Chain A
Amino acid sequence: MSKKKQEMSQVYLGTSNEFVFGELGGKGKHLSSFLKNLSLTSTSRKSKNLGEDVNSSIYGNMQYGRVLGEELGNGSGGVGGGGSDELLSSPGSPKLRPKLVGRSISMGTSFAFSGSHGDDSTSINLGGGSSGSSQSGVGNNGGPYKHSNLSSSSHLKSHRTHSNTFYKDLDADWDADLNDVRNKKLTSVKQKDNNNNDPSNKSRNSLSLVDSFHPEIGMVSSLPSLPKRKDEKISSASKKQSLDHEDHRAQLEVAKQNQLNSKYSKFYKILKPGNTIDINELRKLSWNGIPQDLRALIWQLLLGYLPTNKLRQSSTLTRKRQEYNEGLRVLTIDFDDVKTTSNTSSSSLINNKDRQIYHQINIDVKRTNPSIKLYGDPQVQKSLRKILYLWAIRHPASGYVQGINDLVTPFFHIFLHNYIWQVQKKAEAMNNPLKESDYEGLFIPGILDENDEIEAQFLKDPQLIHTTLNSLDTSKISPRAWSVIEADTYWSLTRLLETITDNYIHEQPGILRLVGELRDLISKIDLELSKHFEHEGIEYIQFAFRWMNCLLMRELSLDLVVRMWDTYLSETPLGFSHFHIYVCAAFLIKFSGDLKERDFQEILLFLQKPPTASWKEKDIEMMLSEAFIWQSLYKDASAHLRS
């Protein structure tokens, strides 16, 4: 796979505010869709081509990582040999990575299929380029079914033989060294797959999505470095000529993984070396989306909560977390009190006003993200009450305002996810001591604590590896860890709200101003829509108030909001105020065609429940790109806006 295809089309904020479309390949396509959008037609964009699909779902569908991880395991398992985890440490190697991954996938998948149908091994070979063809050649030496018989007659033996033959051929033009350590662990996985003769496993083993906890990091670090071998290369290219459906899917998978890897490697280059992180480079890269497992770390950096100077990180966080705990300690409120009425309060020490704030927070936390199971958990609700109440008490000018309970959840979600991820990675490293260094510089300091006994239990928990935020048993997390997650969430929320303070103070002047700016902007961008609204008697405040107060969190799913915040956090100044207007404009104009057909009532009903349920990250990314364009067009032209 050529390098240029792996390049993502990028639209990012350069230091000089430029619009970068990349150089080649799929970029023209994006340019044309931008231009299309500039003409203000709201069309549904279908990805006509592989590249676009791949680009758009790099960060979201983390399940794929798991499949790859396992199959990489299969691949390297059979080879055996010495070597180091060169890819991650050597700066020269990223170039190799996509190529290798592609091949590893081919290899792994056909392994998984080896017990079933011979055809399958040929159908998955796309990503690996020429090595793919050699692979099918192997399986076909004796014909697919013959091979199948072989492996079923004597699993272990055939497995060994098979893998050796297999790799011999595949290795023909591999040019890196083998990671021995990894192989040991993963051989067992491979055996399992190999022993499986049931054709019904085909789909499970191949491209089905394995539910797992975002193991991309593991995947990246486990990229096998493979030994050079001078074996003959068998070609059966003819087999691959027809791209059937599975081929296509496999190709997608491979391309996705390649994209993911190259994305990761770019982040590593910023995050890993040296003592100071280049925040501008990080912003530039993060604007286009942050991989899930790096998100907590990068968000904290972008917020300025985590220092870019690594030497200061640990001490700063320790101090901040202490400060949070001390802040809570002086409060006389009982955070276990969840009575819904404010008639009675268990604590007579707090004054009436504070009790009212607590009451409001209490009833709002109960109805925060009600559709997500995690937020129904008593421990989670307690944490949110603490964070929100402390924030409200510390910021008397605004106090708690409804909607801030929404804004706290992306941070909480991502930081809780990060905790589980760190525990999982640590558990993995404990089983395999040499691996630990892979995550150096990627763990937020002080999240894990060796002296935490509950955490020690969690590390040994057999369910740990399968734990996701949806399946999390919150009692497995120690009070210490909750407190750390809360503190980080608290400070991040504080940082965010600092940028939009006047949205929440008396009379909410910030929101009124932003709504007015949105109205003016729409009248510049989409005069027809603007006139239609006016004709129907629509006032922007009637629908856009919530857009500002909750930053579109009521209109979009949490996953999409999280992606959106990658970009908001990469904007300077943070995008929650000004950039958000342009995003709202892009959002509104997406529905412009629909809205122009509707009357007053229908417009309001439509905008109250905009049809975003099927939105994917690519829709968000398109919207962000449009917002970016409009910002660069209108940002410094506010005088003209007011015509």
Chain B
Amino acid sequence: MKFIVGEDIVLMSSEEKAEVLEKHGLNKPVFEQYLNYIGSILKGDLGYSYRSQKPVTDIVSERLPWTLLLSITNIILSTIIGVAMGTWAAWNRGKKIDIVLNNIFVFFRSMPSFWIGMIFIAVFGARLGWFPIFGAQSVWAGYMGFEKIVDIAMHLIMPTITLVILSVSSIYLTMRYSMIDVLGEDYILMAKMKGLSDKKVRYTHAMRNALIPVVTIVMLNMGYMVGGATIIETVFSYPGMGRLLFEAVTNRDYPVIQGCFFMITICVIAANIIADFIYPLLDPRVV
């Protein structure tokens, strides 16, 4: 770490340099630095930002709610859309609607995220003026109560749609494939032979079994989303973790970078634990 601190320190005099190194504990052996770091994490202390001198814990906890808001909204929407469309396409496999949906979602999947974001800003933000193009809320407007909620929602719409377009395809494709697989199972035939309606067969018998691989995809996405929305958050200047990470990298603010990665790791692990709790609800074979 101390080799890559950057140009600022190169310009300092040797006393100043010694002072900075001393302050951040960078003059100690690497192993000791590592132990100090782990020790502080356990106390909830992620160190201080080189740039703003504020505690990293504060900076991260200021940004995390926005990212969670963005990614949870995205996950809920793209799961609903992906699962519904995937089920529909699988049920109508090989028919026109299936082919059309497949093409749409593969097209979505192959578009670069920053490009979609920029098109949205240019068209719906700048030209049509429907949505705000910057930030997560109009801080200066001093909205209160319901107005504030509406304001936040309006700011959320464009980044969310962009993220949904990016993540819905993998959910759709997984759901469709998994559903096609399940629809070929003998118990589906059995359900049909029992005289159950198509709707009942589709939703009670097929969907529940087909959802299992989708939960994996969704939860993996959820974990990556916290860090993975970097591009979207940067394009929309959304004050989340992704943007914080981007800023920290450009500023060579290592404690903040470490703090971000630490939070992303926690989120990925948390998402996996949630997935592990959901599996047994869907499939009694998983205990």
Are A and B part of the same complex?
Answer: no
Query: A residues near B, CB below 8 A?
Result: none
Query: B residues near A, CB below 8 A?
Result: none
